[in-house]
């Protein structure tokens, strides 16, 4: 990923250089500063880059901010970015070190890894200059280990380690991805202090698994967190991946392989009514030969669906011929270590629907992108049948549709409501599914002019501090004056503290759910606190010794370190209670209250008589 960023940044600088050749004076705002280590005194020496973004609602929602520019951090920590030919506005800066530092957003007096704490750099004049826009990057923690196969041998085909901040089963709170080297080793750097769940995905035929301590598992419920403190390196987080199953085949059109590529997906479950499913594996369709292979599947029965590029229907696998109907799909049985070959698809070209998405004026197209989805046979309860992406000129095209009736809904990026197409004569649309109008298409037909006129809306963006603290529901787009009901659900080990916002007055910040009236774009932050747990220690017998590090309250995820010191004449034998161990000192992450006893025993003495030269008996004690 760093390499991709470098290429992108080099291209940006070359383009700027070419555009400026032979040009007159360049009028541009300039932002510069120094990227320091956490103390704010010593500049970082590992180089890196500072990305610049603009957003109307803040940087916490990646869907609403736009990348603007990049400045390289030199070896002395100094960076400069020139915002050429950009309008005045508010900008956000984020610094990334090539060394082991936590990426952070600019804020004054200190930068922060929390997007909700980011502050704007307000450009009010095209010739404006900002200096001392400095960062103070915290030292990053490192998690490392080896991705092995089930025999304990390193996997040599590479892969990735996905990192999540909480609740691995939900798939949210994704943090970063680390590459697995061709010797099986990996090291993930730049992590903030906290608890992380790791998932290993091999480039070969291995089942993706979660780290679970001494082993790894495909069951997210059994995953174990890796706890790191600031700047700490935690090694030995190894995986033992089981061999997987393979499903393979060819995608054809009238007997010839399709040439445009696409994807084939395997589902362990799929509800044809609600369109809910469990996706297990994905394979790419080869350009030119139409072949695909889905690897790393656990043993089981799968429904397999193709999503081809070009004007083709998406179809389910069935024998002797694939089908566009979910209810007619047939299962494929996959066996660990084996291949289910010949799972082929026979596609046919489809119909298309196209149009333009306008704002509420009906004449100005939206420019921020998004998508339009076609639902089969019904609006409120229909099954998704196709999707078209909204281009920067507002146009969209949905391809590969079967003959039939469809209902269209636009999902725009930016400050617009998601609405249904509602009129065959004017670009009218509605947020009510019951008011949607039908679009009928015939086989291979081309239907144009399915235009939308979207109402403007205000965006409610939500974020959690800390990110791992929990999730918030209720964010989204609302009409002016509408109520937004936000609810914060703490993650394991956290409690909800309060709501805060720099853009909206919250009268009762302790209320959860929180009801706000939407009148502007706003960002609402749910603050969470880690739960405190008491680690109680005792000694047995009471005269046997002492324990340090106990009878202290720790926050969820903190590391407790207990040290047992024997009294004179005693030896330490081990820990009992909620933790059984013999190591001393004893370190462990705190996820609940603990009561632990340090056990001691009297030293055993060996006594025996010795006769002295004068004939007396002396008792010797050892």
Question: What local confidence, expressed as pLDDT, does residue 17 receive?
Answer: 39
Query: For 170-200, how does the pLDDT look when each residue is reduced to its tens digit (9 = 90+)?
Result: 777 889 999 999 999 999 999 998 899 999 9
Same domain assignment for residues 20 and 98: yes
Token couple for 37 = 């280590």
Query: For 56-73, how does the pLDDT look when each residue is reduced to its tens digit (9 = 90+)?
Result: 777 877 666 788 889 999
Same domain assignment for residues 487 and 465: yes
Average pLDDT, the chain: 89
Is residue 621 scored above 80 in pLDDT?
no
Question: What local confidence, expressed as pLDDT, does residue 86 receive?
Answer: 64
Distance, CA of 63 to CA of 50 (rounded, Å): 20
Query: For 225-284, how does the pLDDT look when each residue is reduced to its tens digit (9 = 90+)?
Result: 999 998 999 999 999 999 999 999 999 998 999 999 999 999 999 998 888 899 999 999
The pLDDT-based confidence of 413 (bands split at 50, 70, 90) is confident
Asked if 104 contacts 138 with a C-beta cutoff of 8 angstroms, the reply is yes
Among residues 137, 159, 192, which one ends one of the domains? 137
Among residues 289, 321, 347, which one ends one of the domains? 347
Query: For 356-411, how does the pLDDT look when each residue is reduced to its tens digit (9 = 90+)?
Result: 999 988 899 999 899 999 999 898 988 888 899 999 999 999 998 989 999 999 99
Query: For 505-545, how does the pLDDT look when each residue is reduced to its tens digit (9 = 90+)?
Result: 899 999 999 999 998 888 899 999 999 999 999 999 999 99
How many Cβ atoms sit within 10 Å of the Cβ of residue 46? 14
Q: Provide the pairing of β-strand 245-253 with 345-347.
A: parallel
Instruction: Between 120 and 172, name the one with better pLDDT.
Output: 120
Q: Provide the pairing of β-strand 233-234 with 135-137.
A: unpaired
Is residue 11 scored above 50 in pLDDT?
no
Return all residues near 14 (Cβ < 8 A) that are at least 6 apart.
none
Q: What separation in angstroms does the CA of 345 have from each of 254, 290, 313, 330, 386?
A: 10, 10, 11, 12, 18
Distance, CA of 526 to CA of 461 (rounded, Å): 11
Among residues 453, 473, 497, which one ends one of the domains? 453
CA-based diameter of the chain, in Å?
Answer: 128
Same domain assignment for residues 46 and 91: yes
Query: Which of 4, 8, 122 lies closest to 16 in space, CA to CA?
Result: 8
Lowest mean pLDDT segment, chosen from 51-60, 350-359, 440-449: 51-60
Query: Which of 334, 335, 276 lies closest to 304 in space, CA to CA?
Result: 334
Same domain assignment for residues 332 and 381: no
Same domain assignment for residues 125 and 49: yes
Place of tokens 């993650």: 491
Question: What local confidence, expressed as pLDDT, does residue 605 receive?
Answer: 60
Question: What local confidence, expressed as pLDDT, does residue 620 receive?
Answer: 62
Same domain assignment for residues 113 and 211: no
The dihedral built from the CA positions of residue 375, 376, 378 and 380, taken in this order, carries a sign that is negative
Question: What local confidence, expressed as pLDDT, does residue 533 receive?
Answer: 96
Asked if 376 contacts 351 with a C-beta cutoff of 8 angstroms, the reply is no
Is residue 8 scored above 60 in pLDDT?
no
The answer as to whether 192 is a domain residue is yes
Q: Which domain holds residue 149?
A: 141-241
The answer as to whether 617 is a domain residue is no
Same domain assignment for residues 201 and 293: no
Helix then strand count (H, E) for the chain reads: 1, 55
How many Cβ atoms sit within 10 Å of the Cβ of residue 307? 16
Question: What local confidence, expressed as pLDDT, does residue 511 receive?
Answer: 96
Q: Decide: helix, strand or coil at residue 117.
A: helix
The answer as to whether 210 is a domain residue is yes
Query: For 16-43, how does the pLDDT look when each residue is reduced to its tens digit (9 = 90+)?
Result: 433 344 444 445 789 999 999 998 999 9
Percent of the chain scoring above 90 in pLDDT: 66
Q: Decide: helix, strand or coil at residue 19.
A: helix
Distance, CA of 367 to CA of 429 (rounded, Å): 18
The answer as to whether 620 is a domain residue is no
Question: In the beta sheet, which residues pair with residue 611?
Answer: 617
Count of structural domains, the chain: 6
pTM comes to 0.62
The answer as to whether 473 is a domain residue is yes
Same domain assignment for residues 273 and 314: yes
For residue 49, count CB atoms less than 10 angstroms from its CB and return exposed for 0-12, middle for 13-18, buried for 19 or more: buried
Identify the DSSP state of 153. P
Question: What local confidence, expressed as pLDDT, does residue 10 receive?
Answer: 39
Distance, CA of 491 to CA of 466 (rounded, Å): 11
Asked if 230 contacts 193 with a C-beta cutoff of 8 angstroms, the reply is yes
Q: Which residues of 248-275 are buried (b: 16+ CB within 10 A; e: fewer)?
A: bbbbebeeeebeebbbbbbbbebeeeee
Return all residues near 3 (Cβ < 8 A) that are at least 6 apart.
none
The pLDDT-based confidence of 426 (bands split at 50, 70, 90) is low
The pLDDT-based confidence of 88 (bands split at 50, 70, 90) is confident
The answer as to whether 618 is a domain residue is no
Distance, CA of 615 to CA of 425 (rounded, Å): 127
Identify the DSSP state of 323. B
The answer as to whether 504 is a domain residue is yes
Same domain assignment for residues 553 and 584: yes
Distance, CA of 370 to CA of 382 (rounded, Å): 20
The answer as to whether 30 is a domain residue is yes
Is residue 150 scored above 80 in pLDDT?
yes
Q: What separation in angstroms does the CA of 555 have from each of 141, 495, 597?
A: 19, 11, 21
Asked if 515 contacts 485 with a C-beta cutoff of 8 angstroms, the reply is yes
Q: What separation in angstroms does the CA of 492 have from each of 168, 206, 495, 496, 559?
A: 11, 30, 8, 11, 17
Question: What local confidence, expressed as pLDDT, does residue 618 receive?
Answer: 65
Same domain assignment for residues 400 and 443: yes
Question: What local confidence, expressed as pLDDT, does residue 23 receive?
Answer: 43
Identify the DSSP state of 556. T
CATH number for the domain that contains residue 178: 2.60.40.10
In 44-140, which ranges are E strands? Answer: 48-55, 65-73, 78-84, 89-97, 104-105, 121-123, 129-130, 135-137
Identify the DSSP state of 86. P
When pLDDT is averaged across residues 428-445 and rounded to a whole number, the result is 92
Query: Which of 586, 559, 561 lies closest to 573 in space, CA to CA?
Result: 586
CA 617 to chain centre: 79
Same domain assignment for residues 229 and 256: no
Same domain assignment for residues 8 and 100: yes
Distance, CA of 505 to CA of 492 (rounded, Å): 29
Token couple for 469 = 């603290």
CATH number for the domain that contains residue 308: 2.60.40.1120
Question: What local confidence, expressed as pLDDT, does residue 479 receive?
Answer: 83
Is residue 494 scored above 80 in pLDDT?
yes
The CA-based angle 10-72-11, given to 5 degrees, is: 10
Query: Which of 376, 486, 366, 383 lies closest to 418 in space, CA to CA?
Result: 366
Distance, CA of 622 to CA of 606 (rounded, Å): 5
């Amino acid at each position: 990923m760093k390499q991709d960023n470098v290429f992108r940044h080099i291209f940006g600088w070359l383009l700027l250089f070419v555009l400026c050749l032979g040009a007159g004076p360049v009028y541009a705002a300039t932002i510069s500063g120094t990227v320091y280590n956490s103390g704010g005194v010593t500049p970082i020496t590992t180089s890196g880059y500072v990305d610049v973004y603009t957003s109307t609602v803040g940087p916490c929602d990646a869907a609403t901010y736009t990348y603007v520019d990049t400045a390289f951090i030199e070896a002395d920590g100094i960076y400069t970015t020139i915002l050429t030919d950009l309008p005045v506005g508010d900008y956000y800066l984020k610094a990334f070190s090539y060394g082991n530092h936590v990426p952070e957003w600019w804020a004054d007096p200190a930068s922060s890894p929390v997007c909700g704490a980011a502050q704007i750099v307000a450009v009010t004049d095209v010739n404006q200059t900002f200096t001392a826009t400095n960062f103070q990057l915290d030292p990053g923690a490192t998690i490392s280990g080896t991705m092995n196969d089930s025999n304990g041998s390193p996997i040599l085909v590479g892969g990735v380690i996905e990192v999540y901040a909480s609740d691995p089963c939900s798939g949210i709170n994704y943090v970063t991805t680390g590459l697995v080297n061709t010797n099986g080793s990996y090291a993930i750097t730049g992590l903030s202090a906290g608890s992380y769940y790791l998932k290993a995905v091999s480039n070969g035929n291995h089942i993706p698994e979660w780290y679970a301590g001494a082993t790894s598992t495909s069951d997210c419920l059994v995953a174990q967190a890796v706890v790191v403190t600031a700047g700490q390196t935690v090694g030995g987080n190894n995986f033992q991946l089981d061999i997987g199953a393979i499903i393979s085949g060819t995608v054809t059109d009238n007997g010839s392989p399709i040439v445009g590529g696409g994807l084939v997906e395997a589902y362990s479950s799929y509800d044809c009514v609600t369109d809910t499913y469990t996706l297990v594996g994905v394979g790419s369709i080869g350009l030119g030969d139409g072949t695909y292979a889905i690897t790393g599947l656990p043993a089981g029965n799968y429904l397999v669906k193709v999503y081809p590029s070009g004007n083709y229907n998406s179809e389910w696998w069935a024998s002797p011929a694939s089908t566009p109907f979910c209810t007619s799909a047939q299962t494929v049985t996959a066996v660990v270590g084996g291949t289910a070959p010949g799972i082929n698809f026979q596609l046919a070209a489809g119909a298309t629907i196209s149009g333009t998405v306008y704002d509420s004026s009906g004449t100005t197209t939206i420019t921020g992108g998004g998508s339009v989805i076609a639902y089969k046979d019904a609006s409120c309860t229909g099954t998704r049948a196709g999707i078209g992406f909204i281009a920067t000129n507002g146009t969209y095209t949905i391809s590969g549709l079967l003959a039939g009736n469809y209902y269209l809904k636009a999902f725009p990026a930016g400050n617009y409501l998601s609405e249904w197409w509602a009129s065959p004569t004017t670009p009218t649309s509605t947020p009510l599914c019951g008011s949607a109008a039908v679009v009928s298409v015939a086989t291979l037909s081309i239907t144009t002019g399915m235009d939308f006129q979207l109402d403007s809306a205000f965006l409610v963006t939500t974020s959690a501090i800390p990110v791992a603290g929990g999730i918030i529901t209720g964010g989204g787009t609302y009409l002016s004056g509408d109520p937004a009901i936000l609810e914060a659900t703490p993650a394991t080990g956290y409690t909800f503290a309060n709501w805060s916002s720099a853009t909206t007055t919250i009268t009762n910040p302790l209320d959860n759910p929180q009801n706000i009236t939407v009148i502007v774009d706003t960002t609402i932050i749910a603050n969470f606190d880690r739960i405190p747990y008491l680690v109680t220690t005792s000694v047995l017998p009471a005269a046997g010794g002492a324990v340090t590090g106990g009878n202290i309250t720790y926050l969820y995820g903190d590391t407790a370190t207990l040290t047992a010191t024997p009294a004179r004449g005693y030896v330490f034998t081990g820990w009992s209670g909620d933790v059984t161990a013999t190591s001393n000192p004893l370190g462990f992450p705190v996820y609940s209250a603990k009561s632990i006893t340090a056990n001691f025993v009297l030293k055993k003495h060996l006594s025996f008589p010795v006769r002295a030269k004068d004939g007396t008996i002396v008792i010797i004690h050892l």
